[in-house]
Amino acid sequence: SEGVVTAVARALEQADGARRLEVRANADTPGDAARARRFGAQGIGLCRTEHMFLGERRKLVEEMILARDDFTRERALAALLPLQRQDFIGILEAMDGLPVTIRLLDPPLHEFLPDRTELAVRIATAEARGDLPDPHDAELLGAVSRMHEENPMLGLRGVRLGLVVPGLVAMQVRAIAEAVVERTRAGGSPKAEIMVPLVGAVEELRIERDEVQRVLAEVSAETGVPITCPVGTMIELPRAALTAARIAEQAEFFSFGTNDLTQTTWGFSRDDVEAEFFSAYLDKGVFSTSPFETLDREGVGRLVQIAVAEGRATRPDLKIGVCGEHGGDPDSIHFFHGEGLDYVSCSPFRVPVARLEAGRAALSGTPSSDTR
């Protein structure tokens, strides 16, 4: 097996010498970042910050989102700030010298808020026992009911959350900026990038980006440390792809979120691919592989082409990547290479496969304009 290891190492070396696509990883913890780096990742293309708010911190997020007064919200944000700062310090350290694209909070609300039914049952059970229900439960139920959405995946997520929860963006950006300052003072080379999710209109991005720039400048002035931090956006809604020329006015980079883009282009729920009709579609040959696994070139692929052309018409040096599941899919990687993307970002374990495939795409001589 020494021979196999050597052969793989040689193939990877050849691929790295040939490929034009950069390969980054999706990682949210210092451990994953370090692992990705060992697999040859050239940075983090997607750090999903919502994963950092689970566990014990979930209570604070709940408090922040449901707060009816500034004091409660600000207290929750103040408690979250040092925790977030530590998260980012660890990740920037593990990826020192390489780009780390940190995405602002993008949870569908139902993943964070307590379950309405559970609360109602708890209250009813207490009442049935003749006890007074916990007043906190009653208050929570009211708040959760006010925020209830029938379709949370199409609801208060991504940039929308940033625009309506006061202080949320400022807290996350301050944590990132302070982590950059701390790593810089420690002699490191932090290369953080800030990414805004679920943008559909340039106005959303403009408002959020102004806030991001304001906080970056504030922290830089306070500390005397210059902070360079590109701000970009996910392209994961058809409207974003179609208006990419305008969106590029406010974005230093694009990253295709092909999971949401597939969901919103086909109108298929990404959380229900086990649905019966889905396998029937495969059987009947409507498609031969799931569009969530292999990039659908006629639909999502067309939107990618449009967004690349429009975005670069506005900003020729626009950096463009992909961080959806397709970033680690061999067939899709050939497509992204052909469309002139700069990088793909995938799970750490897929990094070697992506390196090989990006090398094969370059060696197969796929011209940049060809979609293969």
**Residue 324 binding ligand PEP, by CB under 6 A:** yes
8 A C-beta contact, residue 250 and residue 206: yes
Q: Which two tokens stand for residue 10?
A: 């040689």
Site for ligand PEP in 224-243 (CB under 6 A): 236
Q: Measured from the CB of residue 45, what is the shortest distance to ligand PEP in angstroms?
A: 9
**Residue 200 binding Mg ion, by CB under 5 A:** no
**Residue 258 binding ligand PEP, by CB under 6 A:** yes
The angle, 0 to 180 degrees and rounded to 10, between the axes of the packed helices 135-147 and 116-128 is 150
Which of Mg ion, ligand PEP, none lies near 324, with the C-beta cut-off 5 to 8 A by kind?
ligand PEP
**Residue 264 binding ligand PEP, by CB under 6 A:** no
Q: Which two tokens stand for residue 153?
A: 């995946």
Q: From the CA atom positions of the chain, what is the Rg in Å?
A: 22
Which of ligand PEP, Mg ion, none lies near 28, with the C-beta cut-off 5 to 8 A by kind?
none
8 A C-beta contact, residue 131 and residue 177: no
Sole binder of Mg ion in the list 167, 257, 291, 301 (CB under 5 A): 257
User: Nearest to residue 171, comparing CAs of 65, 100, 107, 85?
Assistant: 85
**Residue 30 binding Mg ion, by CB under 5 A:** no
Half-sphere exposure of 124 (CA within 13 A, CB side): 6
Q: Measured from the CB of residue 204, what is the shortest distance to ligand PEP in angstroms?
A: 16
CA 119 to chain centre: 31
**Residue 260 binding Mg ion, by CB under 5 A:** yes
Q: How many residues does the chain have?
A: 372
**Residue 119 binding ligand PEP, by CB under 6 A:** no
Which of ligand PEP, Mg ion, none lies near 32, with the C-beta cut-off 5 to 8 A by kind?
none
User: Nearest to residue 53, comparing CAs of 113, 99, 118, 143?
Assistant: 113
Q: Measured from the CB of residue 250, what is the shortest distance to Mg ion in angstroms?
A: 19
Between 257 and 359, CB nearer to ligand PEP = 257
| Residue 284 buriedness (CB in 10 A; 0-12 / 13-18 / 19+) | exposed
Q: CB neighbours (10 Å) of residue 228?
A: 11
Stretch 103-142: interaction string toward Mg ion, x if CB under 5 A: ----------------------------------------
Residues in binding contact with ligand PEP, number by CB under 6 A: 9
Q: Which two tokens stand for residue 321?
A: 């990547």
Between 32 and 260, CB nearer to Mg ion = 260
Binding region for Mg ion (CB under 5 A) = 236, 257, 260
Binding region for ligand PEP (CB under 6 A) = 46, 48, 236, 257-260, 323-324
